[in-house]
Amino acid sequence: MKEKIIEIENIVKNYKVGTQIVRALRSVSLNIYKGEYVAIMGASGSGKSTLMNIVGCLDTPTSGKYILNGKDVSRMRDDELADIRNSEIGFVFQVFNLLPRNTALENVMLPLVYAGVKKNDRKQRAENTLSDVGLQDRMTHRPNELSGGQRQRVAIARALVNKPALLLADEPTGNLDSQISEEIMKLFAEIHRKGNTLVMVTHEEDIAKHAHRIIRLKDGQIESDIINENPVY
């Protein structure tokens, strides 16, 4: 039997804007299994960003249940959610969020500092992870000495270094040209083949086609959830 890594049951998320209630998610339910590669799509206002924030433990639902890797995170406190984010989730964003004065190696080591990993182990793990994403010769370079694609690879290495249960990518190619985007998507395919669970939020059809399952949201609800029989790569 497949092992569930994400179990979402009847998730509702409402926001108050002035005197109005915005219903961002309306009773969304879905399961994502260990080792899946899933794209979440939808137009602006569809609820995909809200769903990503809840899946990434950056926000909590108004109602409903969210089980991540066996832990009920629906009602956790902010400090508990921070621990879950650091131990269970690797984030890759459209904006690379690298520290400009730190080298690639130092940027990748940072999550290990928060996790309390010993210094020698931090350096070794960060070096290994940067090598895995093809940056073994760029470890001492700072972000302004790297191309956009290389910076995104550093961000991906930083997301992977803690060996998270889930890799969550939010518009990961949004700041990259088409050629570099393809290189990053090839890297994601390699990451998936190694057994990682990958959830990607995107509005781009050609990027979503790399995923093996595509979930589309509309008006805060799941419009479709299909298996992609012919994923790119």
Q: Are strands 4-17 and 20-33 parallel, antiparallel or unpaired?
A: antiparallel
Q: For residue 193, is it within any domain?
A: yes
Determine how many CB atoms are found less than 10 A away from the CB of residue 232. 14
The pLDDT confidence band at residue 44, using thresholds 50, 70 and 90, is confident
Sign of torsion over alpha carbons 107, 108, 109, 115: positive
CB of 52 closer than 8 Å to CB of 201: yes
Q: In the chain, what percentage of residues exceed pLDDT 70?
A: 100
Q: Is residue 220 part of a domain?
A: yes
- Examine residue 141 and state whether it is found in any structural domain, yes or no: yes
Q: Mean pLDDT across the stretch 138-160?
A: 96
pLDDT tens for 47-91 read 999 999 999 999 999 999 999 999 999 889 999 999 999 889 999
CATH code of the domain covering residue 178 = 3.40.50.300
Q: Where are the beta strands (DSSP E) in 34-101?
A: 37-41, 63-68, 71-72, 89-92
DSSP 3-state assignment of 218?
strand
CB proximity list for 155: less than 8 A, separation 6 or greater: 92, 93, 96, 97, 98
Owning domain of residue 202? 36-62+75-227
pLDDT value at residue 69: 93
Residue 17 inside a domain? The answer is no
**Does the pLDDT at position 1 exceed 80?**
no
pLDDT, position 115: 86
Confirm whether 69 is domain-assigned.
no
What's the CA gap between 55 and 66, in Å, rounded? 8
22, part of any domain? no
Phi, psi torsion values for 76, nearest 5 degrees: -70, 150
Residue 223 maps to a domain: yes
Position 140 in a domain: yes
The structural domain count of the chain equals 1
